[in-house]
Chains A and B, each alone.
Chain A
Amino acid sequence: MIDVVDLVKHYRASDGGIVRAVDGVSLSVSPGEMVGLLGANGAGKTTTLRVLATLLKPTSGSATVAGHDVATDPVGVRRALGYVSATTGVPDRLAPREILATYGSMHGFDGSALRERIDVLLDVLGLAGVADRPCGRLSSGQRQRVSLGRALVHDPPALVLDEPTSALDVVGSRDLMAFLERLRAEGRAILVSTHRLHEIERRCDRFVIIDAGRIVAQGTREQLGAGREGGLEDAFFAAIGPGAVP
């Protein structure tokens, strides 16, 4: 469903130098699979996800979502992908219902079908009670759920989430991850980035560890953490090298 092959994304630094934000990343996520993208700050996680979300153009390599190439068919990718950014990305002055209606309309829903879709989402996400309250007056957890609803309003088969729990408390994080498991069970392909390893350790099917724009390890929890007492965290630090160990 999500296929990234030898993806390269270089930036030009303001002093004229080259920043290799993503340097040959290849990964894939199948339907009904949740993959965790792990890495320290600046490792290239967000850049990879932004390329998948068609917000950045790849320097080279390819990335496809449901068969749509991010470089040649960005609109097709956007129709097949739900994207939750690191910031919740919900406007303060709009209510959840209005936000879902906007994005639902953009994706071609209208009339009773749109209203029905919004009601279902609000109900599933536990936002029915605050559906008409401006987002500026919602809690971080509620805002994150609105953001997730926005990403799901067009019922995409693939979902990409960039550090979705960074602003949430423990309860909020647990609820969100539980909801993601439910989405996976529906058959969606989910790629989620985070550096809060404990949250996803037991929920993701596979993990991809990225450092300085390159994949340094990938596999299931067992494959990465087998024989290590510290589990995923030890595997992570082992993969990114001794210099990164705090």
Chain B
Amino acid sequence: MNDVPPVPGRWQAVRAIARRDLLEFVRDRRTLFVTLLMPMAMYPVLALSSLLSVRSALDDPGAARPPARLVLAVSGADALPLVARVRSLPDTVTSGAGWPEQLEIEAVAFDAADRMRREGSVDAWIEAPRGTITGLDATGTVSLEVQLPDVEEVGSRARDHVTAVLRGLADDARRRRMGAAGLPESVLEPVAFAFSGGAAAPGGLSLRGVVPIAAGAVLVLLALLMATGAFYPAIDAIAGEKERGTIETLLMAPCSPGDLVLGKFLAVLAVTLATLAANVVSIALTMTVLLRFMPAHAALGLDAGTVAAAAAVALPAFVGLAAVAAAMSLAVTAASKSVKEAQNTLTPVILLVSGLAGAALLPGLGSSPWVAAVPFTGQVAVTRSVLFEADDPSRRRVGPADEDGRDGSLPLVPLAITLVSSALVSWLLLRATALVVTDEEILFRGPDAVTSGWSRPMPRARPTAWQGFGAALAGFAALWYVQGIAPADLARAILVQQAVAILLPLALLAWWQRVDARTTFALRWPAPDAARGLVATGAAALAGGGLFFLGAAALLAVRGTGMSPEAEALSRRLFGFMRDTPPWQAALLVSVVPALVEETFFRGWILTAFAGRSSPPGRRAFANVAQAALFALFHMLPERMPQTFALGLLLGWLTIRSRSLFPAVVGHAVHNAMPLALVAWAGDAAFDAELVSPLSAALPTEIVAAAAVAFAVGLGAFLGATAETAGSPRPR
């Protein structure tokens, strides 16, 4: 027995965990099915249905098939002169649409022709009775009987070609009759025209309108299958280990939770990358088959160079997506107590991220390079942008510069953005996983007691992290739907929005879970005594008010006066409302109500849910960032998001430090009241210009300086007033 075992390197433990998990994954049939077999089966099925759709879309029979050889047998008394007539048809006739690539026409006896038709050695048999040639040169109509083979495909193709031959014969007869009547051929051709420029006529159906949609759908499917590829391994890696009781022994590994999660991440990533590889192979093989059976003249509008360029961008982008999918799945499963719970949670998450991937196909969305930073949307958008221009999907982007108006360059900046974003998002998710994976409650308390679907769970002191996430999700959905029913009047619209999108889901969840209101909504005085509590609250007001002007100044400095039409319309509406409404009413609706309702929701329910009980500083920080991000997203307009994110961070920090919601409510109310102060200060001048002149130009330096001072003083005073609260043991 050694007292001192060898000291392992960090990577040795990480590698050992990754190898162990990978071994387990490859011995699980579900993983192999989802990783390898599903992609291999999915694309051929899709390609087959696409091929059938394309074929049925080709409604011009002449254009539907490539020209082929036609063997014609002619029998009857006028067989020989008819064959001679066909063979002597001029080039103008034999180069028309539907004319066979090669025509073999022979005069044979009736019996021989019949036999040849039945044997299939001829494509068609025409009986030319006596009087056929005479009839062609006269003024009547000659009836000809054409017999086709019984094989559907041959008969159908032969029908097209024989039709072209007989139309040519008819054109020739028409000209002969005109000549006999002394009329020039131009009588039949009143208009002559010729095309110049443009691409060579494909002579068939162009799929250029279809290919961008199909390519986008394939990319979204690829993203979905990759997320699915991470599904089982991730569930197996953490929730499965919990259920099998193996997580305890694994947590005894001589490494940090972060290293443990990293090892598991590498294993899940390996499987997800194998899914990517299987998808790529399946797509490549399917394309090979598809192109072989696609009608030759169905123009795809893609060349080998474009496809190679797309692959060069898609591979790194989707490797990034694999990392995000693996990290996301691990984070979800780490917060689950059982395999079933992990499945029930991860399934809707995957459906949601499929929606994100699908959002990349929205018209015009791909034109912003920052879309590349959004997980799942970015990877699809960047890859698609290689193939097609974002603003005109019918135009290819990459290729020779002299064709089709392409700029010939790869979207390297968006690719770099998506790679950096993928790395950052994956890292954040892994950090969250490392924080959650050792959570004692999730690890050892077992699944919640079995309850029927309609009975409420046991009361809790505070909501779970999932209930925080669920509240946000329900709020988002309600916020979206409420847009359709919100009254035109802004005062009522604000009330309806706050009530339906925030109060309603919050009330339902609180009723369902029966949380302790004082704990969940931090209903405590922010300091040990009244005086310091008042100082803390006043300091929060200063910081909130200062942040409004600092945020506005930063926004103007970054974006200038440029605003999206939506932001401009909202600003006009809000400022109009503030000008035309009595000040007390405006203050109530713009400042007090949103501050009370939103703080209860974001810094009450969601922050408490995410931070959990007596959580370590890392988790509290993560919870704060997460709730601030959700708070920013709730405000919907991209222009407002940086400022609302910063406000969310500030208010979250105030709540965490003071363990009280009151400073955040006051800080939020004062922040929202600042536009009212601005209107009072600027008066009607605010509405003289196109929009709001004081805001749309630049804030006066003295206002910015005063705001900075107020913000700094507020923070300093708050730190001082809450020093004792922050240093005392956290409430349990």
Listed in ascending order, the chain A residues whose CB lies under 8 Å from chain B are 11-12, 14-16, 18, 50, 53-57, 66, 75, 78-81, 83, 85-94, 98-99, 102-103, 105-110, 134, 147, 150-151, 154-157, 186-188
Contacts and interface: CB of A to CB of B under 8 A. Distances in A.
12 contacts: A11-B440, A12-B732, A14-B458, A16-B461, A16-B519, A50-B248, A85-B249, A155-B2, A157-B1, A157-B3, A186-B1, A188-B1
Contacts of A16: 459-461, 516, 519
B253 A94 contact: no
Interface string B11-36: 01101110110011001100000000
A112 to B, nearest CB: 13
Query: Could you tell me the dominant secondary structure of chain B's interface residues?
Result: loop
A154 to B, nearest CB: 4
A109 B9 CA distance: 10
A92 B246 CA distance: 10
Contacts of B245: 85-89
Contacts of B20: 91, 94, 98-99, 102
B16 to A, nearest CB: 4
A15 B444 CA distance: 17
Given A16-B460, A157-B3, A75 B255 contact: yes
B201 interface: no
B8 A56 contact: no
Given A89-B245, A93-B23, A155-B5, A107 B251 contact: no
B5 A107 contact: yes
B418 to A, nearest CB: 35
Given A75-B254, A78-B253, 9 more contacts: A14-B460, A16-B519, A50-B248, A53-B248, A66-B3, A91-B20, A108-B7, A150-B249, A188-B1
A40 B245 CA distance: 21
A102 B19 contact: yes
Nearest to A18: B732
B31 to A, nearest CB: 10
Nearest to B28: A93
A86 to B, nearest CB: 8
Interface of B: 1-3, 5-9, 12-13, 15-17, 19-20, 23-24, 27-28, 244-246, 248-249, 251-256, 440-441, 443-445, 448, 458-461, 516, 519, 613, 732
Nearest to B519: A16
B443 A106 contact: no
Nearest to A183: B1
Contacts of B256: 75
A68 to B, nearest CB: 11
Contacts, number: 129
Contacts of A56: 440, 444
Contacts of B441: 12
Nearest to B7: A108
Contacts of B7: 79, 108
Contacts of B255: 75, 106
A93 B13 contact: no
Contact of B1 (A57, A83, A99, A155): A155
Contact of B254 (A15, A79, A157): A79
Nearest 4 CB-CB pairings of A with B: A87-B245, A108-B8, A108-B6, A105-B16
A85 B244 CA distance: 12
Contact of B16 (A15, A83, A106): A106
Chain A CB within 10 Å, residue with most, of B8, B252, B254, B443: B252
A117 to B, nearest CB: 10
B492 to A, nearest CB: 39
Contacts of A88: 245
B1 A94 contact: no
B248 A87 contact: yes
Contacts of B249: 83, 85, 89-90, 147, 150-151
A7 to B, nearest CB: 15
Contacts of B19: 102, 105
B17 A12 contact: no
B158 to A, nearest CB: 61
A92 B24 CA distance: 9
A186 B254 CA distance: 23
Given A90-B246, A102-B19, A107 B254 contact: yes
A108 B440 contact: no
A134 B459 CA distance: 43
A79 B5 contact: yes
Nearest to A147: B249
B512 to A, nearest CB: 14
Contacts of A105: 8, 12-13, 15-16, 19
B24 A94 contact: yes
Nearest to B2: A155
Contacts of B3: 66, 157
A113 B211 CA distance: 59
A234 to B, nearest CB: 33
A89 B16 contact: no
Nearest to B514: A15
Contacts of A134: 27
Contacts of B16: 102-103, 105-106
Contacts of B1: 155, 157, 186-188
Nearest to A53: B252
A83 to B, nearest CB: 5
Contacts of A81: 252
A102 B263 CA distance: 12
A182 B24 CA distance: 33
